[in-house]
Amino acid sequence: MSDPEELLRRHYQEVFNAHHAMLQARRRQDPDFTLESLQAFLKDAYVQAENDWLGRGMLFETTQAAIIAAHEAVLAEWLAEEQEKEAP
């Protein structure tokens, strides 16, 4: 059996990949999904992460970190695309 750290790394990557793909698909398919809605989700996610008064455990924390990272990656990609559109 793999060590716990390796399992968490794999779990993180799986969650990140799934959310990244879902967000990219949503960008293509949902006209109501905007940069502002993505930024609002991130703001709320960071507040929730800081409110860890129950001690959620490593698996939950890893999942949340991967979800936030996927949203941040899509946000960075989206902003870069917007900058390219504005460039002369």
The per-residue pLDDT for range 51-73, each reduced to its tens digit, is 766 667 888 889 989 999 999 99
The pTM of this model reads: 0.86
Distance set, CA 2 to CA 5, 16, 17, 36, 85 (Å) = 8, 20, 21, 40, 46
Q: Which bin fits 55, alpha (ψ -120 to 50), beta or left (φ > 0)?
A: left
User: How many Cα atoms sit within 13 Å of 53 on the Cβ side?
Assistant: 2
The backbone torsions φ and ψ at residue 3, rounded to the nearest 5 degrees and listed phi first, read -75, 160
What is the block-wise mean pLDDT of the chain (88 residues), using blocks of 10 residues? 85 97 96 95 86 75 92 96 86
Distance CA 4, CA 83 (A): 41
In the chain, where the domains are located? 4-86
